[in-house]
Structure 1
């Protein structure tokens, strides 16, 4: 099947799923589309014995999609830039401490807690995997992906402070999570899969980890600021919204590709550049007409790609190598990840609330609203072929599906409940 045919099918399926959700299911678009895709995939699995060849054709189509390349080396550039360009540095500045602590220490803490507990649980179930590979699972499942929840938080009137914290954390812990994942994957003895699909051994000293992190993150920051400044100077010298939209598109795509080629953290580079252009560029290098068109363009790109991404997550069920003995492990992985998230959030927000006011229920909202999404699935699918890969992929899929369908659909209730508690406590204090 040609690339154009494959993309045409995906866009058509995304459009039909969006229509079905809008007319009949009425869930948030991304969640509804994923639910439709999951139900369709499950139906194909169930009718497979009675519709010979039909499920195989659908699975063959899905297997032609390199999820890792599509997400980590394609969609992610657009999604992160679209998210960063609408975030105000002023808001991030006010919440820099909780955002940085959650994105850095929260992600690291969650990685080791999830990895360690998962290793123990899998050993208890007789499904033991190497400890470093369990840590790899912790790294790929720890970054939050609140694509679906941000819209819900706005619609139910969540405190602005929480919106900024969730958005800021997700923008930066995606990039950091990818870096930690790659470092642990190398420490585990593997780099990316070789061309024949067999894992390629790699050795790296523990002492080199700090240097690698400095290169990945520090180099990305320098490259992003340089590229952002050059783009900003170009934006100042033109007054044509078509050209300016094209310049922002070139920045997102070109910078991501260049950082990738230089082995720097491409996600962090794109986020920093998006923040630079979205604040400095919007304020001093764009007219009002240009700002409207740039905002509209990136909002549309964000919406379309999110719908396609969640459709792909649902369709992955057709090719997921789930074994019956792994179901218990997949179910147990859900509370493990949630508990690690709660511990990391409570360990950071709790002490901070003593020196700086936090919204009522911040720990509950940040815990339940820390969704996992396509980035985690993409990293799991990028794992080299070995005895542990399929099990880790199954655990990841269980957590992601639960996160999006259950947490994504109920986080609004958590926000409303905490808002009522806040209003009630304020009324009591006034009395």
Structure 2
């Protein structure tokens, strides 16, 4: 494990250096572009017989990493807490119902829209994927990733209320998406369809339990922080709360992602205001910002390298293009249209529907969920489709969302 971690960090550091010196893209996107480019170059060299075992070595290294376990049991808790830590809860409260509508109703509607859309489109391409697998794809691809887009929103001068809604939706729909994914996967593995009451009970237990646990964990950590005034101990307490709390949530079978978001919101607001000195605030902010940057860079490097493990065929590439179109259309129908139509409810500036549609980036959680599926032809198809959507989302949408924000919202066109 130590060797794998060391190799990951060394590769990430070198790619981050190359990006900063020569490519000059946002760090997370830049390291992924370079990692993906190098992986594709190795594939080409292998096809020409000139790779000298590089492809075999990289594939062996990637297979030694359980990407799903690393993200879902390791990185995700830290990333979600770090993201929630800097959200102003007093400002978010005024948009709480808008965030709930997008994160809960939007994710559910998107899962159904993508699932039935793919079930309709894929047979035209020659790919047969059962409806439950299509719905699984819809569940894992619907959660959006705030990591790459938040910095761009700030640099492009997006209004504060739009930033809040994008951040709130992205933080909460990760947890909702994981719960929906688990529900559909349970139907697939058990071979039975749960009643509406059972499905609602599972959703309430996972989501409601995660939120309640996050409140309890956040309050306990806040009380501990308030009782001491030494930044080293307080930083350690926040780290222990995240790692220990996420592990306990998993054992309790409640939503760890939602628990971490709620804990982060409590520590970042009540804890920051009432339990921390100026020195502690500064060190906690620096620690979590640095950890967030490092983990995101490692995550996007791994996404770029994962391409070697996916067996692409011509139908799968066409299927990937169809998945991109269906996912964008579903995002527009379930988020863009409601935001554009119900302006009085969402209270966002004109043009926000375009930003929310194009800025719904997909990231590592979608790849991790796809990798967690049981082995089989359906898993391989879903993994290829997911990878196509994630790469397009990060490289194309991520690099162009700044211009969309500027034209749609800042300039008001």
Please report the TM-score for the alignment, with normalisation by the length of structure 2.
0.97
1:53 and 2:43 correspond: no
Separation in structure 1 between the aligned mates of residue 61 and residue 172 of structure 2, nearest angstrom: 33
Question: What is residue 4 of structure 1 aligned with on the other side?
Answer: 2
1:294 and 2:284 correspond: yes
1:407 and 2:405 correspond: no
1:332 and 2:330 correspond: no
1:16 and 2:5 correspond: no
Distance 1:324 1:268, change over 3 A: same
Question: What is residue 27 of structure 2 aligned with on the other side?
Answer: 29
Q: Determine which of 245, 250, 265 is the counterpart of 2:240.
A: 250
Distance 1:108 1:316, change over 3 A: same
Q: Secondary structure at the match of 1:384?
A: coil
Measure how far apart 1:325 and its partner are.
2.5
**Where do 1:60-99 residues align within 5 Å?**
60-99=60-99
Paired residues in the alignment total 410
Contact 1:360 1:421 in 2 (8 A): no
Q: Secondary structure at the match of 1:50?
A: coil
Measure how far apart 1:82 and its partner are.
0.3
Distance 1:265 1:146, change over 3 A: same
Question: What is residue 223 of structure 1 aligned with on the other side?
Answer: 213
Structure 2 gap ranges (5+): none
Separation in structure 1 between the aligned mates of residue 258 and residue 105 of structure 2, nearest angstrom: 16
Separation in structure 2 between the aligned mates of residue 110 and residue 33 of structure 1, nearest angstrom: 29
Contact 2:351 2:408 in 1 (8 A): yes
1:278 and 2:268 correspond: yes
Separation in structure 2 between the aligned mates of residue 375 and residue 406 of structure 1, nearest angstrom: 18
Question: What is residue 429 of structure 1 aligned with on the other side?
Answer: none
Measure how far apart 1:385 and its partner are.
1.0
1:389 and 2:379 correspond: yes
Measure how far apart 1:204 and its partner are.
5.6
Measure how far apart 1:387 and its partner are.
2.1
Contact 2:125 2:315 in 1 (8 A): no
Q: Secondary structure at the match of 2:25?
A: coil
Contact 1:98 1:349 in 2 (8 A): no
**Where do 1:206-217 residues align within 5 Å?**
206=195, 207-217=197-207
Measure how far apart 1:346 and its partner are.
2.7
Please report the TM-score for the alignment, with normalisation by the length of structure 1.
0.93
Separation in structure 1 between the aligned mates of residue 350 and residue 138 of structure 2, nearest angstrom: 29
Measure how far apart 1:130 and its partner are.
1.0
Measure how far apart 1:236 and its partner are.
0.9
After superposition, what is the alpha-carbon deviation per residue over 1:17-65, rounded to whole angstroms, capped at 9, x for unaligned? Answer: 1111111111101000000000000011110132242211111001111
Distance 1:356 1:62, change over 3 A: closer
What root-mean-square deviation, in Å, do the aligned CA atoms of Structure 1 and Structure 2 show?
Answer: 1.3
Question: What is residue 174 of structure 2 aligned with on the other side?
Answer: 174
